């Protein structure tokens, strides 16, 4: 049986070229894959809104709604060259027609693809929802995602699959003509290359309903890739500000170094505005993303590595987390830095895709359940270790049960996030006095 009535993994579909939108799907036998079933939400934390959708969530994510199309075979260098793609690289497809041509070429070469609900933050939110369901099904966290889901079969599939995993996909007041896709091409040496199709959207959600949900949440998680959306530098700060004013903890993820470099000024301004509001902010970045955000101080990465980068980011927000691959991670809470080793692996490293998403899921889930920030970092590392030991970016039922067994017994009343971070800050101040 699956966790708390949820599937152990989202359903998969097969894709091929053709169709009016450049894509046709082979559907699985279970018809409920398209059902918009919201998870069971704790009445004490969620107020019902119009149409039965909740108004507030424990965790609200703002993200691109994407479907991953993974080639179920190794793709050689010759095929990558035909696709105009460098190994390990990323290229954006110009249209649905080009995507259809790529899928037709793969089918011709007998390289089948499977579809799964994807996107960086979607992976994180699914992880939080599954961990919560296994940890305490009676007081599970309510998790929502707001993003531009297309009015197409892929959009219906995305929403239904995430609902099965415990994440409610919410209307954002607009809508995209089609759902975005990421074609994942694995190589024999473990690297992955990506062909992305991003339909034109109206940008991040900006409607009153989205602002209300953000303001009433305990934690807002913003996917870094959203900064590249049209109008994001205007709409995202407004949503972040609404969350900060409502008392939510704001969590920002890097996305990738290019996104951070392109929008460095807007991200720094958002951090500054949150600081002025007295808001709690957590920032997740890997080594290269942290270096890109620090800009002129990027030489810190070369001279002192991730430790110096984490210390510098820690001056910008309440909690800074810098992940450094096999070297572990560094968590800074109000100036107190904890360097954490990588978690023990259950097996060999198989696929590092999604490691950062998994780390963030474990960290946020632990923090919401009263674990201090260094402890949350250790738990995040344990979650990431499970994901990189096999293919696939989302946790399985067996992994979730193993992971939650590491945590203390569930608390009936969860403390406010500010008190958790505040306690870490008090510990930092005490440590500073002791050093003095």
In this structure, what are the phi and psi dihedrals at residue 82, rounded to the nearest 5 degrees?
-60, -30
- Please give the biggest Cα pair distance in the chain: 70
Question: What pLDDT shows up at residue 353?
Answer: 75
3-state helix, strand, coil in the chain (%, to 5): 45, 20, 35
pLDDT at position 3 over 50: no
pLDDT at position 306 over 50: yes
**Tens digit of pLDDT for each residue in 353-409?**
788 899 999 999 999 988 888 899 999 999 999 888 777 777 878 888 888 888 875
**Tens digit of pLDDT for each residue in 134-169?**
988 778 899 999 887 888 888 889 999 999 999 999
Residue 3 carries which DSSP code? G
Q: With beta carbons less than 8 A apart as the criterion, state whether 126 and 134 touch.
A: no
Spatial CA neighbour of 162 closest among 293, 53, 308, 38:
38
CATH number of 57-67+120-178+202-435: 3.40.1190.20
Mean pLDDT value of segment 203-230: 83
d(CA 404, CA 4): 14
Mean pLDDT value of segment 323-343: 91
| 106-110, 172-176, 198-202, 273-277, range with the lowest pLDDT | 172-176
Please, what is the average pLDDT of the chain?
78
Mean pLDDT value of segment 258-284: 93
Domain boundaries, the chain: 57-67+120-178+202-435
pTM of the model: 0.78
């Amino acid at each position: 049986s699956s966790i708390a009535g949820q599937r152990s993994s989202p359903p998969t579909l097969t894709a091929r070229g053709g169709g009016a939108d450049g894509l046709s799907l082979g559907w699985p036998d279970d018809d409920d894959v398209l059902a918009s079933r919201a998870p069971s939400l704790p009445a004490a934390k969620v107020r019902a809104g119009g149409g039965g959708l909740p108004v507030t969530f424990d965790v609200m994510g703002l993200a691109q709604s994407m479907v991953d199309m993974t080639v179920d075979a190794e793709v050689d260098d010759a095929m990558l060259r035909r696709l105009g793609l460098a190994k390990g690289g990323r290229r954006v497809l110009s249209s649905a027609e080009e995507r259809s041509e790529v899928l037709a070429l793969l089918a011709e070469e007998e390289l089948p693809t499977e579809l799964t609900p994807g996107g960086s933050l979607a992976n994180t939110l699914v992880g939080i929802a599954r961990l919560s369901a296994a940890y305490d099904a009676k007081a599970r966290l309510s998790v929502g995602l707001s993003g531009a889901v297309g009015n197409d079969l892929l959009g219906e599939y995305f929403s239904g699959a995430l609902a099965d995993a415990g994440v409610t996909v919410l209307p954002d007041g607009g809508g995209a003509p089609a759902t975005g896709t990421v074609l994942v091409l694995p190589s024999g040496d473990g690297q992955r290359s990506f062909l992305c199709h991003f339909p034109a959207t109206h940008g991040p959600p900006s409607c009153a309903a989205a602002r209300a949900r953000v303001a009433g949440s305990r934690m807002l998680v913003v996917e870094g890739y959203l900064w590249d959306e049209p109008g994001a530098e205007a709409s995202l700060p407004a949503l972040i500000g609404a969350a900060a004013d409502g008392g939510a903890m704001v969590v920002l993820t890097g996305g990738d170094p290019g996104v951070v470099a392109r929008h460095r000024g807007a991200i720094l301004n958002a951090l500054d505005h949150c600081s002025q509001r007295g808001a709690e902010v957590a920032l997740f970045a890997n080594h290269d993303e942290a270096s890109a955000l620090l800009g002129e101080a990027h030489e810190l990465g070369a001279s002192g590595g991730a430790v110096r980068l984490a210390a510098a980011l820690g001056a910008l927000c309440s909690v800074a987390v810098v992940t450094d691959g096999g070297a572990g991670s560094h968590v800074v809470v109000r100036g107190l830095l904890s360097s954490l080793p990588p978690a023990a692996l259950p097996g060999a490293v198989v696929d590092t895709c999604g490691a950062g998403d998994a780390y963030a899921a474990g960290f946020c889930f632990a923090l919401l359940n009263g674990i201090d920030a260094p402890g949350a970092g250790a738990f995040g590392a344990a979650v990431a270790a499970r994901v990189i030991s096999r293919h696939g970016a989302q946790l399985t039922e067996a992994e979730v049960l193993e992971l939650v067994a590491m945590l203390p017994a569930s608390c009936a009343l969860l403390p406010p996030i500010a008190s958790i971070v505040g306690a870490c800050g008090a510990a930092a101040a005490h440590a500073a006095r002791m050093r003095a």
